[in-house]
Amino acid sequence: MKQIVLLFLLLCLQTISVSAQTFDYPATRKEAVVDTFFQQHIVSDPYRWLENQYSKPVIDWVQEQNQLSKKYLAKASNKTNAFLAIDKYSYVGVPQNYTKAGKYYFRYFYYNNGGNPALYYKTQMSKDPSEDDLHPLVDPAHISSKDKIVLRDYSVSKNSDLLAYQFSRNGSDWAEVKVVELKNAVHRNDHLKDVKFSNLSWKGDGFFYAAYPEGKVQKLFYHKIGTSQSEDKLIYEANSLSTTLSFFTTTDERYFVLTVRNEQTGSKTFFYIDYDQAEPMLKPILANIKFAFNILGSVNGKFIAQTNHEANNWRLVEFDPKSPFNWREVVPESPDMLMDNTFLLKDRMIITYLSKGRPFLTVIDYSGKMLYKLELPIATTIGNITGSADEDEVLFRYYSYTFPTVVYKFNIRTFERTLTERTTVTYDLDNFEYKQVDYSGKDGTLVPMTLVYKKGIQLNGKNPTLLEAYGGFGAISQPSFSPGLIHFIKSGGVFAYASIRGGGELGSEWAMQGRGQNKQTSFDDYISAAEYLIKTGYTSSDKLAGTGASNGGLVVATAAIQRPELFKAVVPKVAPLDMLRFEKFTIGIFHTDEYGSTKDSLGFQLLSRYSPLHNIKENINYPSMLIMSSGNDDRVPPFHSYKFAAALQNRPSQKNPILLRIENNAGHNGATNMYSSVREEADAFAFIMDLLFE
């Protein structure tokens, strides 16, 4: 009997030692740094030295953090089979990414495992893809053997003779531009640098682009093919660092349209050039527009714009640039569908809508008459419509969480859809169940959420569950294929995506309810989603993980700090976490309209209430966290994650693991090639599954 009692005590001690496991975190010094706000609020910032991210002490500290997390994640990956499974599922969707521009079809293609995709092209899309002649056009490996090159964007000249393409190095937002001849894939000598947050828009024998020469304000230039960048014509110069420029040339190249946006106030001013005029020059159209208004193109000399002015679900209007306040409503606001994307053609347009998590594809003429409407299943996405405005055929992509991208040809006259190629997957596509639910937010507002799980699974309150959200900037979050989710769901997990306020899934008002001084509403909606999943018997707090990227990372980190008892594991990615200093770095100043500013007392109070870094309590053992970021992130500098990890790790009460994983030579979008992308996703799911499936 004594032996049995002794054995029982030993087992209990072993269990306690595992649950109270301590980690030998890298030594992180504290410094006596404080800020005083409005002469009365003193805020300590002991880890500010980590903001000097390129200093040797910080580089060494990050390396030690990566070594610790790598060791833990390797064991977790082996236990959960995460890397091998996700690697297997990652390649199923690679070939299906055709687009059409001018006379050609283009496709990014991974020509070797682990590398970056090269750009290929061909002249036709036959019924038998094996008959098509696919030619290599731009190979990242030929640009640099030292840097990780990512092809970002390309634009084809109106006559289809030339293609200008952007590429970046090691994940940076800074880009370069080169030009290649399409008839023979010969590269020209044109080479532009200092390009950032820019598209490329052709006009005649050159194109427009935006750059930040010497790292100062953004400027708009016109580059003529065959000349040096120093000869480029300056078209417009922003008046402050918080001003950004976006632009396009209409498909007939009659008009050039420039949008100047003040990122702090959200107001826009529009300019245009009419090349039918005897002396074309840049002229203003509309100034200081406070509501959302996006000029999409022109038809018969009139501009078509999509706006939420007096239309929560958006509408389309037409106006003459010479009489910009005289609008004709082309497509009115739908009472029950959110207008998403609009693609203009010569005498009709394709508009995609969203309604209760379900996408619709419509064809509408310029009198506003609906000619065709296609309803698609919930939690699927129609995206990237491409083609020529004067042709009947376009391409569009179609995908979801559990099936990879496929590309359809779509005829706007006959409405016939044709699959360009079939994708072979290594799992049963019909073995997943999708469900749309509404749950009550803290204030009683119904919030939509999508659930995905394996058919036949027993929902018994013990299901490992992953809750994700974004909820910012009015962005409409739609499903995208995730190899990691395939592995998670096939292993018995439940995935939930909450369309919380701050996002644009339910229109403009939905976005405003989670913005600025209402930002806490986003976090409350996410917390309510977690409570719903627990109360309704999908999962428990011991089986619930949360994740999100960028603004979504802020959401999940804030929720974990405010309600730590709800979550077993949390994975914030490339997240702003020091909200009292976010606006002082890179493009943080662009986002004060979303979050507020410490420059005014109300903004300081709001930010200090929810800033994850500043609300960590000394006596709380927070959920296990894998804090993920990228070393070259130009949008949300990685020191947000450094400081947050350091503050969580260096408290005696923290028993659950706090790991920091930094992807080197990568930017805001994460890993820059196939192998590292698989590794990054596998680490996240290995961490989550190791904790939830134990």
Q: What gap in Å lies between CA 578 and CA 596, rounded to an integer? A: 13
Active-site residue 240, yes or no? no
Neighbours of 444 (CB within 10 A): 7
CA distance 51 to 15: 39
Task: Single out the catalytic residue among 550, 624, 641, 677.
Answer: 550
Q: What angle do CA 566, 571, 576 make, to 5 degrees?
A: 105
Please count the other Cβ atoms lying within 10 Å of the Cβ belonging to residue 545: 29
For residue 36, what are the β-bridge partners? 42
Which residue type, as a one-letter code, is found at position 651? R
Do residues 129 and 421 touch, judged by C-beta distance below 8 A? yes
Quote the DSSP letter at residue 486: H
Taking alpha carbons only, the member of 634, 497, 658 closest to residue 574 is 634
Pick the closest to residue 273 from 258, 294, 289, 288 (CA basis).
258
Task: Please give the radius of gyration of the chain, using alpha carbons only, rounded to the nearest integer.
Answer: 26
User: Which of 591, 668, 676, 677 is an active site residue?
Assistant: 668
Q: How far apart are CA 69 and CA 67, in angstroms?
A: 6
Residue matched to tokens 């260096």? 650
Question: In the annotation, is 668 catalytic?
Answer: yes
Residues 306-315 as b/e (b if ≥16 CB within 10 A, e otherwise) read: bbbeebbbbb
CA distance 44 to 34: 4
Q: How far is Cα 451 from Cα 430, in angstroms, rounded to an integer?
A: 15
Backbone angles phi, psi at 53, to 5 degrees: -65, -20
Partnered with residue 294 across adjacent β-strands are 306
- The full DSSP string for 638-682 is THHHHHHHHHHHS-TT--S-EEEEEETT-BTTB-SSHHHHHHHHH
Burial label, 67 (beta-carbon count in 10 A; 0-12, 13-18, 19+): exposed
Which are the catalytic amino acids? 550, 668
